[in-house]
Chains A and B, each alone.
Chain A
Amino acid sequence: MTKVDSIKNGNEVGVAIGVDALAKSYGDVEAVKGVSFQVLQGETFGFLGPNGAGKSTTISMLCTLVKPTAGKAIVAGFDVLQAKADVRRNIGLVFQDTTLDDYLTAEENLRFHAELYGVPKEGLKERMDALFEMVGLEQRRNSIVGTYSGGMKRRLEIIRGLLHSPRVLFLDEPTIGLDPQTRTHIWEYIESLRKSEEITMFLTTHYMDEAENCDRIAIIDDGEIVAIDTPERLKASVGADRVGIGTQDNESAISLLREHFGLEATMSEGLVVVYVEEGERFVPRLFDGLGMTINSVSITRPTLDDVFMNYTGRTIRDAEASVSEKMASNPWLRRRR
């Protein structure tokens, strides 16, 4: 049993996950190229990146399911290499693919989990009741899971992952394959969970909008972490807001912007575009100082997509397209089902 030896500086807030130069190679392919980061207790930490960037491999290493080829990771106070069972007892897992038994009822699935994780019998029923209620499945707890919809199954998996009161909950693409409405619900559950359970959550996603829900995110591309911070600060680091101006005469608008504001404007989709800090403060000055009629103004704040673009030079969709090409040409990487 290895107690937390904090990898970095001394810590007042506990470190739930400490990772140091963790790497995984499959033959010549480096899936994860030595990543280092810390997740603090109570944090919701997101791993954001395109499919195939190494998100699932990293999560699998942290859950002791895949053996790292190099580096070190401490999860919930235990080393993933030396204290596998202790790590497993203290974490909850929600995988991309369902791992429920379709032939058992929801409650039987939970009871099965409780037995496997040695959950004490006293208090188990109360906890199951509360969890079923939390995700709105109390009416269907005695239904065979095979009759559940995709969203219900995911909700059941999330509460099953919580049944043994883990200190860290890992969610690998918790909303993949679900409709937008169900995705919103799942996030509401995750949000209420982090408040009620004081649990650390580590999740992966390739949905930009979902990553916004995290306290901090790490952007991972091609097996490396390219940025790590709060979503706000990451977006701020990209800098300027994008201001699109519609005018009668774009040519003169561009020269006037240069003359009066010292800004280099570009044309994009019929609009004159400039990048400025604090766009909403710039717009009044623009109306006062430009000296020509303005038909329309739009301000766009940078999104995490822009952040990804900024750090990797491509959009997440482009990145996924190139990965799926790679997968298509290599039958060994293709997923079943």
Chain B
Amino acid sequence: MKETVKAQSVEGNSAVIAVAPVRVARAGSRDDIRAVLMIWKRELIRFFRNRIRMVTSLAQPLFFLFVLGTGLSPVISGHGSSFNFRTFMFPGVLGMTILFTAIFSAVSIVWDREFGFLREMLVAPVGRWSLVVGKCLGGASVATFQGVIVMLLAGGVGVPYAPTLMLTLLGELALTAFCLTAFGVAIAARIRKIESFQVVMQLLVMPMFFLAGAVFPLSGLPRWLSDLTKIDPLSYAVDPMRRAVFHHIHAPTIMTRLLDAGVTWNGWRVPTLLELGIIAAISLIMLAIAVVQFSQQD
């Protein structure tokens, strides 16, 4: 095979704009951290630039809280004592808000795949874990932010703005948001088509929402339904928030027993710390699954 050497064709081109090259240093964990922060930042930029998404994702919680919550109040009040059912709904609606926002953020990976941007990330010389962690932190931040907006409605549904309650809820929201985003990213890693997102919503997200005790109390359920609520991870996220809310209001004992029954294993009420531990453990497992899945992709 003949070889033509094209050497020194560099001289004599005054018209060319000089572009000074930069030198890229050797890779290190610092580069991975930079990648994490950048992907996190991208999620925030995209979220805050999309006003329509912010507004529409707030519409659903408002409907549940004020329409469904108000509509069901007379049913509960039939028990003899007056109780604002919206107060009961409040933690559930918080959970719902972060569930949908987090899953939506995570599933944007499928959009990135469809529109090519995922490729730009996958070819970068950084550890895949940094892409996944950045995405999860970004989605979790966005979901927590949405949760906080709903949290500000507390006064309107009979939940006091006690600082300890607000801080407790904030922490629980953030943890849950991270868990749900990691869960969504682990699923999105396998989804190739946008259409499949509908399937995920119908078969995973909606059941998770309904079985979490977000809209109805977990007490007095038939066995099959009760068992299903116990395997729904979201139950362990909604319950701590509801417990915190009931701790700060003065509800009639009968109402507390009925509405704040919590998740029980064989009659033993699972303590808050264990519930949060479960959520944290699921977060790590999902994160690990997502990292493995992305590491295997070209």
**Residues of A near any B CB (own CB < 8 A):** 13, 37-38, 40, 42-44, 63-67, 85-86, 88-89, 93, 95, 97-104, 108, 111-113, 115-120, 123-124, 126-127, 130-131, 133-134, 162, 164-165, 192, 194-198, 215-216, 228-230, 233, 337
| Complex CA–CA separation, A65 to B298 (angstroms) | 5
Known: A67-B298, A104-B42. A118 touches B25 (CB 8 A): yes
Set of chain A residues within 8 Å of B37, measured between Cβ atoms: 115
Q: Are B7 and A42 in contact (CB under 8 A)?
A: yes
A108 touches B15 (CB 8 A): no
B residues 1-36 with Cβ under 8 Å of A? 1-7, 9-10, 13, 15-25, 27, 30-31, 34-35
Seed contacts A86-B125, A104-B42, A196-B16; 11 additional CB < 8 Å A-B pairs: A38-B3, A85-B125, A89-B24, A89-B125, A103-B46, A116-B38, A116-B125, A118-B30, A127-B22, A130-B19, A229-B2
Identify the stretch in B83-91, B114-122, B154-162 within 8 Å (CB) of chain A at 4 or more residues. Answer: B114-122
Cβ of A89: which chain B residues have Cβ within 8 Å of it? 24, 27, 125
The reply to whether the CB of B124 lies closer than 8 angstroms to some CB of chain A is: yes
Closest to A9 in B: B3
State the interface size on chain B (CB cutoff 8 A).
46
Residue from B1, B15, B31, B123 within 8 A of A63 (CB atoms): B123
For residue A108, which residues in chain B have a CB less than 8 angstroms away from its CB? 42, 45
CB of A56, distance to nearest CB on chain B (Å): 13
User: Is B266 in the interface zone, CB < 8 Å from A?
Assistant: no
Query: Which of B19, B45, B125 sits near A131, CB closer than 8 Å?
Result: B19
Q: Which of A99, A103, A131 contacts B120 (CB 8 A)?
A: A99
Would you call A116 and B5 a contact (CB within 8 A)? no
Q: Is B223 positioned at the interface, with any CB of A under 8 Å from its CB?
A: no
A100 touches B116 (CB 8 A): yes
B20 in contact with A127 (CB, 8 Å): yes
Q: Does B49 contact A (CB under 8 A)?
A: yes
Q: Cβ of B164 < 8 Å from any Cβ of A? A: no
- B24 close to A119 (CB less than 8 A): yes
Subset of 29 A-B contacts with CB under 8 Å? A37-B1, A40-B3, A42-B10, A43-B6, A44-B6, A65-B123, A86-B125, A89-B24, A98-B115, A99-B119, A103-B46, A104-B45, A104-B46, A108-B42, A115-B38, A116-B38, A116-B125, A116-B126, A118-B125, A120-B23, A127-B21, A127-B22, A165-B24, A192-B17, A195-B16, A196-B19, A215-B6, A216-B4, A230-B4
Q: Lowest 5 A-B CB distances belong to which pairs?
A: A115-B38, A116-B124, A165-B21, A118-B31, A99-B116
* B106-141 vs A, Cβ < 8 Å mask (1 yes, 0 no): 000000101111011101111000000000000000
Does B120 lie within 8 Å of A113, measured CB to CB? yes
Residues of B within 8 Å of A102, CB to CB, are 115
B22 & A164 in contact (Cβ 8 Å cutoff) = yes
Q: In whole angstroms, what is the CA distance A230 to B50 when docked?
A: 51
Task: Give A115 to B35 CA distance when docked, in angstroms.
Answer: 6
Which residues of the other chain, A, contact B116 by a CB distance below 8 angstroms? 95, 97-100
Contact of A233 among B2, B19, B22, B24 (CB under 8 A): B2
The reply to whether B4 and A112 form a contact with Cβ atoms under 8 Å apart is no
Flag if B24 contacts A117 (CB, 8 Å). Answer: yes
A100 CB contacts on chain B under 8 angstroms: 116-117, 120
**What distance in Å separates the Cβ of B133 from its nearest Cβ neighbour in chain A?**
14
> A120–B24 Cα gap in the complex (Å)?
7
Partner of A229, one of B4, B13, B17, B119: B4
Determine the distance from Cα of A93 to Cα of B114 in the docked complex, in whole angstroms: 18
Min Cβ gap A198→B in Å is 6
With A100-B117, A198-B10 known to touch, is A134 a contact of B19 (CB < 8 Å)? Answer: yes
User: Using Cβ atoms and an 8 Å threshold, which residues of chain B touch A118?
Assistant: 24-25, 27, 30-31, 34, 125-126
Residues of B within 8 A of A38 (CB): 3
B117 CB, min distance to chain A CBs, angstroms:
5
Could you tell me if A112 and B6 are in contact, using CB atoms closer than 8 angstroms?
Answer: no
Which of A97, A102, A118, A123 is the most central at the interface, judged by chain B CB atoms within 10 Å of its CB?
A118
Cα separation A65 to B122 with both chains bound (whole Å): 9
Please tell me which one of the listed residues B19, B31, B34 contacts residue A127 in the complex, with CB atoms under 8 A apart.
B19
| Chain B contacts for A195, CB-based, 8 A | 9-10, 13, 16
| Chain B residues within 8 Å of A42, by CB | 6-7, 9-10
Which of A99, A165, A215 contacts B22, CB < 8 Å? A165
Provide the residues of chain B in CB contact with A88, threshold 8 Å.
123-125
Bound-complex Cα distance A111 to B126 (A): 15
* Cα–Cα, bound, A303→B13 (Å): 29
Given contacts A89-B27, A118-B24, contact A134 B17 (CB under 8 A): yes
Nearest chain B CB to A155 CB, angstrom units:
14
Report the separation of the CA atoms of residues A134 and B18 in the bound assembly, to the nearest whole angstrom: 9
Q: Which of B4, B13, B20 contacts A215 (CB 8 A)?
A: B4
